Amino acid sequence: MKAELKPCPFCGGKAERIDFGPGDGENEGGSCIACTQCESSGPVEFGYKENFVSNWNTRAQPPAVGLDVTDAMATAAAREWCALTDTSFDRLTSYQQHRAMEDFRIVLKAALRTGGGA
């Protein structure tokens, strides 16, 4: 029985389950779901894996939280940073763009949390 995996929440790529075996160090015996395209992955789970697939699939939904940093905001920040460092955002690979956006998303979220009241 194979539950269907939703596509990657970041890039829409195909997700696949990875089962770690002998030789995989601390991950041995665990499983995780990872994107075959951008290599984003869920946490490595051990033992009880009943919610394993549903956790990934839940995560694949766009988060419905306030104070969210939109893709446009993260992209704008990444582009700005690229311009400052003489790098062309458009020449980065989609994986690099994604990583840059995720980095700025974290920074922007922290900024939003502290509020703009200063």
Residues in contact with Zn ion by the rule CB under 5 A: 8, 10-11, 13, 35, 37-38, 40
What CA–CA distances, in Å, run from 17 to 10, 44, 74, 83, 95?
17, 10, 29, 38, 20
Closest CB 37 distance from Zn ion, rounded Å = 5
Smaller CB distance to Zn ion: residue 10 or 104? 10
Tokens representing 5 are 């995996």
Closest CB 102 distance from Zn ion, rounded Å = 11
3-state secondary structure of 45: strand
Closest CB 12 distance from Zn ion, rounded Å = 7
Closest CB 58 distance from Zn ion, rounded Å = 16
Contacts of 62-69 spanning 24+ positions with Cβ under 8 A? 62/9, 67/109, 67/112, 67/113, 68/109, 69/104, 69/105, 69/108, 69/109, 69/112
Smaller CB distance to Zn ion: residue 6 or 109? 6
Smaller CB distance to Zn ion: residue 75 or 112? 75
Tokens representing 90 are 């458009």
Smaller CB distance to Zn ion: residue 8 or 33? 8
